[in-house]
Amino acid sequence: MVSVAFLVAGILGAFGDKEGHARSLDDAKLFAVHVLSQAKNLERRRVIRSTWASRVDTTFYVGLSADNAVNAGLFIEKRDHNDLVIVPMLEDYYGITQKTRWILNHAGNGFSYTMKCDDDTYVRVGMIRKMLASRDPSKLEIIGKISRNGSVLRSGKWGVSRKDYPGNRYPTMPAGPGYILSRALVKTLRKSDKSNHLTLEDVSVGIWISRLKEHVDFVHMHFSGYGCQASSFIFHYVSAVMMQTYGRREASGSAICG
């Protein structure tokens, strides 16, 4: 059971001073990355900080653990790094929609683009910066691996009941491991209806966008779901060991896929 003290501290921590932890980059305000993590994933966050996050403004979002010892570590981590937001919720896989809603409601100010990714995602910061530099953040657009007219599953990890979503097809949406929203889209979504009961974060984003009266452009961005592909803007399902390997290769200027 999480103590009241930890819960209150978590809520206060979520309103802390970390929204855009600035780094000394020439184009520091081009984009920021917001990473969905879990309270227990300290090692993943450590590796991310030492690799791709050292080159771009990065914030981590976690919930509270049922283990008070883990929570104590979170507040120490927040104090030491100033890049951690503790969302006032108990940690759960299906809480990723709530964390994403939190990002859209509170983050992104001062940046041309806002990127969301998972903590098992390796972000190709240089490639993304080069791609975004030629785009217009005043346009309503979302960039990612775009899924159109996807089938609704009724069972399994990604199953959704007919009560929660009666349709058989999902609206156009970005795949969850990593996507980028323009400043204009973040501002528009912040004021929009983001209510639903779905536990699937990427589907929820697609639904929120589909409710907008304005037209939104969905722009495809290639990424690798498994393994290393040099043309990918992000790699997903990356272990801490491989993240360090990719980081060393990029830092040395060698081919990232070996």
User: What is the average pLDDT across 223-234?
Assistant: 90
- Can you tell me the distance from the alpha carbon of 92 to that of 20, in angstroms, rounded to the nearest whole number? 25
Q: Please tell me whether residue 240 adopts helix, strand or coil conformation.
A: helix
Domain annotation covers residue 196: yes
Domain annotation covers residue 258: no
In order of 14, 61, 88, 117, 125, the CA distances from 99 in angstroms are 11, 7, 9, 11, 22
- CATH number of the domain encompassing residue 189: 3.90.550
- In the chain, the percentage of residues whose pLDDT exceeds 70 is 89
Structure confidence by residue, pLDDT tens digits, 108-161:
889 999 999 999 999 999 999 999 999 999 999 999 999 999 999 999 888 899
Amino acid residing at 102: W
Give all strands of the β-sheet with 57-64 in edge-to-edge order: 84-90, 57-64, 31-36, 113-118, 173-182, 141-147, 217-220
Residue ranges of alpha helices (H) inside 51-160 are: 68-81, 96-106, 125-133
Domain annotation covers residue 151: yes
For the cut 70, the answer to whether the pLDDT of residue 4 exceeds it is no
Read off the tokens for 11. 């809520």
Structure confidence by residue, pLDDT tens digits, 39-76:
999 999 999 999 999 999 999 999 999 999 999 999 99
Number of structural domains in the chain:
1
Assess contact for 236 and 224: CB atoms under 8 A. yes
Domain annotation covers residue 47: yes
| Helix (H) / strand (E) containing 179 | strand 173-182
Q: Which domain holds residue 245?
A: 4-252
Structure confidence by residue, pLDDT tens digits, 140-152:
999 999 999 999 9
Domain annotation covers residue 257: no
In order of 21, 55, 99, 135, 157, the CA distances from 94 in angstroms are 27, 30, 10, 33, 10
Domain annotation covers residue 168: yes
Domain annotation covers residue 127: yes
